[in-house]
Chains A and B, each alone.
Chain A
Amino acid sequence: MSHSDIDSDVSELDQRELSEAVATDKWAPQLGYCEEPETPLTADTFPSKSGGKPAWLNPEHILNVEKTTCNNCNEPMILLLQLYTPEDEPEEAFHRTVYVFCCKNGGCHKQDWTQCFKVYRSQLPRENPYYPPPEDEEEEENDVAIDFTPKKFTKPKECVICGVAGTKACGKCQSVYYCSRQHQMVDWNSCHHKEYCNTTMDKEQEQEIQKLRASRLFSEMEIVSEPEGQGEDGKEEEEQREHTKRETGENSKESALALRGDEAYENSEVAVDQSFLKFQLKIGLYPDQVIRYERVEYDMPDREPLWVQQGQKPTIIPSCDKCGGPRTFEFQILSTLLNYLDISHVADDSLDWGSIYIYTCKYNCPINPDIFVPEYIWKQDFSAEGMKL
């Protein structure tokens, strides 16, 4: 598995050339960063967030726990992240959210990771019964009162631990809902429901319980985005580029020296993980990114994701379940997200990945009458190679 360094063109590993290439990339991906939420991340703000409970796009129909159960350990999964990715076309995808659920048990992932992730796409058209259509900028001056009344429906019960449909209720007090027996046990034992069932709690106790329940999930952060190469740092980088060009402009032209006889037979190969180095350099331009979102324009060619190793690549991407059309790469989740999930990394089987790749239906087919459509996910780990001389 060693990659000879003698003749390979390694110019793409040059940091300066990389940042130049990124700045002139017409279809530079959107990078996602984790930040503390400024406003509460409720469903009507259409948030993109990691961790916490899902903020359902369609508030009337929410996911059932059967759809979010790990097939390995039969525990309910929790929300890893959700991205709000609106589209201008087709009409039905005006509002669009992709939910990624994953099993909390790292050991499960080590056994068979294909069972430990679930991805769902949910969309709503512009005219929908739940949210008023957003104002067009041209009509703002008309001051037309938007005639919209949201549909009246019974809000579905959510599990107090994980946020999916709460079909079961606590036997004693019948006022707290759960999705499954496992979460009921968790609430009973670890979140003090045993002590407070059927009693009224004061504010402090309620807050304590909220915190305990929230600690069963990944910590909630908002995912904000920025196009690669266009950040606030973009201008500074351009200036730096100009500066280095001026400084080292003429030094790089060396006269062609003839190869001495001995050196032609040198064995100076270095076995190093080339794809990881490329990955690291690309990430190094913006080190705290967590998401790379590639679908930035319509009619752009299908892009390859940023792989983290040579092997472990998906062979065939299955077609969309609903429409049979092709699935293309939409975005990838990097391992830097693990820094923001507030989990322990010390255990041998703690949650870990190299990068997770999400493939979704290319044409965003209409999802009626389903509310959630499963999509395809692939995971790559980092290769276990170090440096070999």
Chain B
Amino acid sequence: MADTAPADRRGGFGRGRGRGGRGRGRGRRGDEKTEWVPVTKLGRLVKAGKIKNMEEIYTFSLPVKEYQIVDYFLPSLKDEVMKIMPVQKQTRAGQRTRFKAFVVIGDSDGHVGLGVKCSKEVATAIRGAIILAKLSIIPVRRGYWGTALGEPHTVPCKVTGKCGSAMCRLIPAPKGTGLVAAPTPKKVLQLAGVTDCYTTSKGSTRTLGNFVKATFAAIGNTYGFLTPDLWTETEFTKAPFQEHTDFLAVKQRK
């Protein structure tokens, strides 16, 4: 029934039979399916190439609503499914089981994201969690344990993050130490691009959701910590779309 009614009315708005505009042109196959048409203003600016990298988006705290923006700047993201957890809800007809997926995504070079999604099927939950992880990507600040020689390899200072009762503390480590951590934060730190780190954890770390969120919060705090080398005054630059027109000036003149 669904295919007979609209089949004879290809093209044209409105309910008049057989009249109104034309249908879509044929021969639009190929790339058109996968091409991203931006919906938000930030998306349009990114697609037009007006924004150079993710760091500009972070500097001005612009909310990212389309995950394609992240894909555009960070094409080489790796995702890691931390856990699939079945959750149940009691209904009159028995139990309704759904699956909660925890996905950590990162490029091993300063960007991590965490996504949590619940769905009736595992594959859907994972796909949804990957999208949410992309939307939540944050930058990771790395520093040195001792001499500033070579590339930064560890966290810049002792940072801590807490979620629920799980607490995770990251401590700078000398080069070559590797990641001294439980498997869960170890994966997150690997994807973040931290090479060496000591960790301490407290609380119920068995609750994986909370533990991952705690490490994520700790990593996020690396850019929130005021270290002495940031003491110089910041010169504020204009946000990507801050070029004002003379609109207001004209209004005054009238």
Contact = CB atoms under 8 A, between A and B. Distances in A.
Interface of A: 5-7, 10-11, 13-16, 23-26, 28, 30, 32-33, 35, 38, 46-48, 73-74, 83-88, 94, 96, 105-108, 134, 137, 222-227, 230-233, 248, 251-252, 254, 256-259, 262-263, 265-268, 270, 272-273, 276-277, 280, 283, 287-288, 291, 293, 295-298, 331, 334-336, 338-339, 345-350, 352, 382, 384-387, 389
A84 B21 contact: yes
B14 A335 contact: no
Interface in B47-66: 48, 50, 62-66
A350 B251 CA distance: 16
Contacts of B40: 335, 382
Interface string B77-114: 00000000111110000010101101000000000001
B124 A14 contact: yes
Given A6-B118, A84-B12, 5 more contacts: A46-B20, A105-B245, A106-B247, A233-B33, A263-B207
A382 B65 contact: yes
A300 B115 CA distance: 40
Contacts of A297: 5, 15
23 contacts: A10-B117, A11-B119, A14-B119, A26-B1, A28-B2, A30-B13, A32-B13, A47-B21, A48-B13, A84-B21, A85-B16, A87-B15, A258-B88, A267-B163, A267-B213, A268-B213, A270-B132, A272-B135, A280-B66, A288-B32, A338-B44, A346-B243, A350-B41
B25 A283 contact: no
Interface of chain A, main secondary structure: loop
A263 B37 contact: no
Contacts of B131: 277
B86 A35 contact: no
A226 B24 contact: yes
Most A C-beta atoms less than 10 A away, residue of B19, B29, B127, B209: B19
Contacts of A389: 114, 136, 213, 216-217
Interface string B1-41: 11101110111111111111111111011001101111111
B128 interface: yes
Contacts of A335: 39-40
A105 B128 CA distance: 38
Contacts of B2: 23-26, 28
Contacts of A254: 86, 97, 99, 122
Contacts, number: 249
Contacts of B120: 11, 14, 252
A349 B6 CA distance: 41
Contacts of A270: 115-117, 132
Nearest to A14: B124
B123 interface: yes
B227 interface: no
Contacts of B29: 232
A224 B124 contact: no
Contacts of B117: 5, 10, 270
Contacts of A94: 16
Contacts of A5: 116-118
* 8 pairs of A and B residues whose beta carbons are closest in the complex: A86-B16, A386-B63, A85-B14, A107-B247, A268-B209, A387-B136, A227-B6, A48-B21
Contacts of A272: 132, 135
A225 B48 CA distance: 26
Contacts of A287: 35-37
B125 to A, nearest CB: 9
B117 to A, nearest CB: 7
Contacts of A33: 24
Interface string B195-224: 000000000101101100100110000000
A259 B87 contact: yes
B63 A385 contact: yes
A249 to B, nearest CB: 11
B251 A73 contact: yes
A83 B24 contact: no
Given A230-B3, A347-B243, A266 B164 contact: yes
A88 B136 contact: no
B241 interface: yes
Given A266-B210, A280-B66, A298 B244 contact: no
Given A11-B120, A262-B207, A84 B241 contact: no
Nearest to B88: A259
Contacts of B25: 35, 38, 224
Contacts of A88: 15-17
Contacts of B204: 262
Contacts of A336: 37-39
B15 to A, nearest CB: 6
Contacts of B44: 338-339, 345
Contact of A273 (B9, B21, B33, B65): B65
Nearest to B16: A86
Contacts of B19: 46, 86, 134
B242 interface: yes
Nearest to A352: B41
